[in-house]
Structure 1
Amino acid sequence: MKNSWSAKIPRPVSAEAKAAVRAHLGELKTAVLHQLNTSLPWFRELPANQRSSLGEIAQQGLTTFADWFEHSESTVKASASGVLHSVFGNAPSELSRTVSLQQAVQLLRTVLQVVETQVPAIVAEPDKAAARYAVVFYSREIAFALAEVYARAAETRGSWDTRLEALLLDSILAGDRADEIRSRAAATGWKATHGITVMVGQPDQLEEPQLVAKLREIATRANLEILIGVLSDRLVIVLGAVRDVESDTKTIQRGFGDGPIVYGRIVDTLVDATISAQEALEGFSAAPAWPNAPRPVSASDLLPERALNGDQVARSALTRQIYRPLSRAGNSLLETVDVYTTTGGSLEATARQLFIHANTVRYRLKRVAELTGWDPTTPRDAYVLQVALMTGRLDTVLNPPEP
């Protein structure tokens, strides 16, 4: 059974028509270059070497058309890959770097318009139908070839971008030198200079390519920058341009699977994101100790669990942020927090044990909340304060203050 294209061939092209097209090839090339400079402003603005390169590609396209026209009996057996090799040769990557796909289509359309307009006028009347068919068939094949050029370039660029992103994420997690992180960030095109945080959780059940695509779509819709890495059973994400950390992390959580999701502090550079990443990773390891934690949860809200899990940074933070401010304020606040938390949060029991009025207990607890940011009357905050008192006392014994 003949294919539909071969059935439409009007008649074999005469030797005279083939010779005429070959004889006018120089004129066609001149006409194409003139048309490119006349109708495409962006072409005129390219550097001379790039204009020359693209001009050579356009002229090679005309030469390939002339070859096809001379062998019209086998034209229908030609393939897009054959056109790709004949027209573009080693130029696909250069073409895709020099001009956008839209510009390449405009360039190609200009070439084909010249061919379509002038070739039928070159040949005799009996060959005009065959010439028009050759132009149509050639246009189809060259379009497939162009699509292949840009598809292959996009695939190569996508693989390279993924590799660069993985290297940048590794540098952040490893705490590499600042210059190295900045260099890799520039290579990936990272632009965010504020609102950067690192999130850690379990990945969704999707295959990694689908998961990455899903997360990128979510981030794009939320106007967030994102770096993505799946490390064994952990999904690590660097978010940039965060405006509302609670809202934005909740948006991104749709890409995570079940289990805790922890995010680190907000920083302004990828160099400082190393700190956020360390907090998030430590928080994720300790998160099972707080089954009812919010999702996602800040690593700073997991200070007690992180300290109990051996995180010295969290332990130091509890001592520095809670114990020492209370200690500097006087023993009365430390004592009040200690008694209040160990008596089950009873104002009356605390007042009786300390021999003070209940209103005094209320005042002291309010003062504790003002100094530390943790409210003793809230069960979770009371637990944090209780652990902070323990770590602070231990740190004081191990590292007594200088006289």
Structure 2
Amino acid sequence: MTEQDLTTGSGVTPQRTAGDVLDLITTHDGDVETVAFECLAGGLTDARVASLMHVLGWSDDVRCFAVAGFAPTVGGGATGGFGGDAVMHTLARLRTTAHDLGGSLVIAGTHEGICVVLTASRAAATPEVTCTAMMGVFDADRPVALGPERHGVHGASATIRAALATLAAAPAIRESRAAQGAGRPTSVARQELNRLVRAEDALPERALLGDEDAKRELIDAVYGSLAAGGADDPTLETVSTFVLSGGSLETTAKALNVHPNTVRYRLKRAADTTGWDATDPREAYVLRTAIALGRIAAARS
């Protein structure tokens, strides 16, 4: 499956039903890891799936994260030349990498040609460190997605699905990064870093693809923070006016009848509250999407 294939569909994995568990067990000859992965990737997180994870050594409250990418193509990529065995070889190397970093809990599988590994979080190996170590296993010319850190069976499913949606959103993210970095020299290290796409950095694109978790985060965390002060707090109005004006302090100040320094102060306060800076073009897009989704949700409630 290619990046183009990912963008032709919704980019969000269809939900499985409870009846699929028995079918999967039969289909995969009782391979617990494969069945557990298929259930989690399909959004199935009932007691039976939790039991499968218990068999694999996972407790109900383990913190975990997912990494997703493409197996190297024949004759290229990080390993190359494995033909039809490339995916299985990639999964084996991902498991080995996780174990080498001290990870005893690993679930690896494939979804529509994408290699995904779910591993438990460890203090000595953060998600970023683990993902960086795994990047050399994937196709060197394609993006790698890092899902958010979550816990429990529901969280395991959420981070896998977020990683898959992030990979689907990667072409748009890469275009955005390329536009912001136009004209700047790019080192090998920077190129490698640009391959990595974190789920939290792809919230607008994931929301556009129909990722409900991304929508909830944009509405609850981002829009919710902007609107937390109520009608008397000018933060939401200021940020909204600023991003809709194309990032013009003067236009925003004039529209709100305040001094530009007041706008600067409010934008800084909003950045401190939400973690997103409206003066950065990419982050302004995140804020604009969150505000639009939040207002739609508020109108429906």
Tell me the TM-score normalized by structure 2: 0.70
- Residue of structure 1 in register with 2:274 after alignment: 372
Structure of greater relative contact order (alpha carbons < 8 Å, 6+ residues apart): 2
* C-alpha contact 1:229 1:237 (8 A) present in aligned 2: yes
Aligned to 1:59: none
The reply on whether 1:387 has 2:289 as its aligned counterpart is yes
Q: Specify the SS of the correspondent of 1:229.
A: strand
Correspondence for 1:93: none
Unmatched segments (≥5 aa) in structure 2: 1-27, 74-81, 178-193
User: Counterpart amino acid of 2:70?
Assistant: Q
In the other structure, the counterpart of 1:228 is 108
- SS of 2:108's equivalent? strand
| Residue of structure 1 in register with 2:21 after alignment | none
Residue 317 of structure 1 corresponds to 217
1:264 aligns with 2:164: no
Q: CA deviation at 1:252?
A: 1.6
Aligned to 1:275: 158
TM-aligned CA distance change 1:186 to 1:328, over 3 Å: closer
1:218-247, CA deviations, whole angstroms, 9 ceiling, x for partnerless residues? 222211242221233211111123432222
Query: How far is the alpha carbon of 1:197 from its aligned partner?
Result: 0.8
Matched, 1:202 2:91: no
The Cα of 1:387 is off from its aligned counterpart by: 1.2
Deviation at 1:187, TM superposition (A): 3.3
* Residues 110, 116 of structure 2: 8 Å contact kept: yes
Name the structure 1 match of 2:188: none
Question: Cα RMSD over matched residues?
Answer: 2.7
Please say if residues 50 and 60 of structure 2, whose CA atoms lie closer than 8 Å, have aligned partners that are also in contact. Answer: no
Cα 1:223–1:379 change in 2 (3 A) is same
Query: Which is helix-richer, 1 or 2?
Result: 1
- Could you tell me which of 170, 186, 190 is aligned with 2:38? 170
Matched residues in 2 for 1:216 and 1:161: separation? 21
Instruction: Work out which of the residue numbers 201, 208, 213 in structure 1 matches 2:92.
Output: 213
Instruction: Give 3-state SS (helix, strand or coil) of 1:345's partner.
Output: coil
Q: Corresponding residue for 1:354?
A: 256
How high is the TM-score relative to the length of structure 1? 0.54
- Residue in structure 1 matched with residue 241 of structure 2 by the alignment: 339
Counterpart CA distance in 2 for 1:309 and 1:271 is 20
Partner of 1:23: none
- The question of whether the paired residues in 2 share the 8 Å contact of 1:194 and 1:242 is answered with no
Shift of 1:312: 3.3
**C-alpha distance after superposition, 1:262-310 (max 9, x if no partner):** 2222123345301212222222222322225643222222111112222
CA distance in 2, matches of 1:268, 1:349: 44
Give secondary structure in 1 for the equivalent of 2:110.
strand
- State the distance in 2 between where 1:375 and 1:273 align: 30
CA distance in 2, matches of 1:341, 1:371: 17
Could you list the per-position Cα deviations for residues 154-181 of structure 1 after superposition, in whole angstroms to 9, with x for gaps in the alignment?
Answer: xxxxxx9993321221232234354323
The match for 2:130 is: 248
Hey, what's the Cα distance between the residues in 1 that align with 2:204 and 2:109? Answer: 28
Distance 1:368 1:189 in 2: 43
**Could you tell me how far 1:325 is from its partner in structure 2?**
2.7
5+ residue gaps, structure 1: 1-159
